[in-house]
Structure formats: structure tokens, C-alpha cells
A and B are shown apart, each in its own frame.
Chain A
Amino acid sequence: MNITQILFWLLSVMALFGAMMVITSKNPVFSVLWLILTFFAISGHYILLNAQFLAIVNIIVYAGAIMVLFLFVIMLMNLNKSVEPKSNRWVKFAGAVSGGCLLLVLVAALRNTEVKGQVAQVNQGDIGLIKNLGNELFTTYVVPFEISSILFLSAMVGAVVIGKKE
């Protein structure tokens, strides 16, 4: 077991644990915090795969901006454990069972796919570097890049319009 593998398993456990805690926390603020932990774990995975740009962007955008936005909204509504709506037992059971079944089915389906045996390259590979990514982004994929700016514009306008007081 070299260091890479230990790191992989460690990060995986962290991610899974964090995800479980997200869905089972009673207090929504705690859910947010656990989710941030999960994001960090996933960013760790990215770094392991030498996708440095994405790791950083993940932290900045997701853990930084989006989660903070969530936190703001939760604080705005003053949600805490006591106000939290409770699902009844059967719903939780049904949800867990169907999720579990889906997990099993997908695992069973993808267990023997053609990609079995291939390896994701860790620790090496240049494509995760920002220079190469930028190269691709601004040459082959420049049109989607520009359109995403329009997407942001519309999202901004939408958010403002929806959130306006009458």
C-alpha cells in the first residue's frame, strides 16, 4: 500500500462519511458544514488525479461561494433543529431502500464494463494543469465558454426578478 492508495482510501472514507452526515443531520447548519467537508474531500481526489485547476475551482466556487450562499439563506430563515420538518418513518425507509437498490443495481451493472482493468492516472499527467486546460478551453471550446456568460447573465436577472419584493 503506497501513499497514494492510503490517501485515496482516506479521502474516500471522508467523502462518504461526510455525505452520510449531510443527509442525516437534523440541524441544517450542520448539514451545510458536512457538505463542505465532503467537497474538500472531493477536491482532495482531484489533486490526487492531478487535476489541479479543478481542485482549486471546486473549493473556490462550491465550498466557498455556493455553500456560503446556502448558509446565508439558512440564517435568513432562521432554521434550526426545532423548526426542521420531520419525515415520517415510512418515507425514510422507502427512500433508503430505493436508494440502496439503485446502488446495488448500478454497481452490479458497471462491475464488468469494458473499462475494467483500466487505470486512472494519478500523480501524473499534464492535462490537469491550468495551462493545458486553458489552451483547450479557449480554442476548441470557446463558444460554450462565451455562452456560459450569457447563462450567468440570465441567472442573475432571474434571481433578481424572482427575489424582488412586490
Chain B
Amino acid sequence: MPINYYIFLSIALFCIGIVGVLTRRNAIIIFMCIELMLNAVNLLFVAFSKMHHLKMATVNASAGTEGQLFVFFIMVVAAAEVSVGLAIIVMMYRNIHSVDVNFLNRLKH
């Protein structure tokens, strides 16, 4: 599969995620779009790792593993981030009884 296809797919998913972050006002949906962006990047990493493996297999048998291991760590971090983020959202809900991000405008002052 030419690597370009994977690049374009990943970019498309990433941009869809960005549109989602900009457009939606529900904090949880925004969070989910962030996960979508992360996944797009993961896909690209794996594709690149296979590309490198193909190129370098003659030189080094385990040439592309870094890409996939990095995806592994991204998932680790995403999981941690989701747990903390959702805790914050729950706290926010407890205080203002809504998950609308437009209520969080204290930065104005």
C-alpha cells in the first residue's frame, strides 16, 4: 500500500478531530475528538513503522519496532489522560451542573 494513502487517511481523521474540537460545545464530545486525533496519529505511526521495516529489513531485522512501541506508549498516556480528564469534567459538572465549555470563561479576567 503506498504510504501516501495512509498519510492522507491519517490527515483526514486528524482534521475531522480538529473540526470536532472547534465546533462542539459539550466538553465530553471535545474530549472524544481529542482521542480521535490521537488515534489518527497512531495509525500513521504504525504505517511508518511498516514502511521502515520494509526498507531496512535486510540491514536490521527489527527495524520498525520503534513506531509500534511508541503507539503503545501513546495509548498508555491516553488512558491516563482520559481518567484524569473525566475526573475534571465530573468536578466541573458538579459545580455548574452543565458540561458546556462556554461557561468556563473565567480566563476573561
Given contacts A23-B19, A42-B43, A46-B46, contact A79 B72 (CB under 8 A): no
Given contacts A79-B26, A148-B73, contact A128 B68 (CB under 8 A): yes
- Given the complex, which residues of B lie within 8 Å of A115, measured CB to CB? 3, 7, 51
A10 within 8 A of B: no
| CB–CB B87/A158 < 8 A | yes
Binding site for B on A (CB under 8 A): 4-5, 8, 12, 15-16, 19-20, 22-23, 28, 31-32, 35, 38-39, 42, 45-46, 49-51, 53-54, 57-58, 61-62, 65-66, 69-70, 73-74, 76-77, 79, 84-87, 91-92, 94-96, 98-100, 102-103, 106-107, 110-111, 113, 115-122, 125-128, 132-133, 135-137, 141, 144, 148, 151-152, 154-156, 158-160, 162-163
Name 11 extra pairs, CB < 8 A, besides A95-B22, A99-B16, A128-B68. Answer: A23-B19, A31-B32, A42-B42, A42-B43, A45-B46, A57-B75, A62-B35, A99-B18, A133-B68, A136-B62, A162-B84
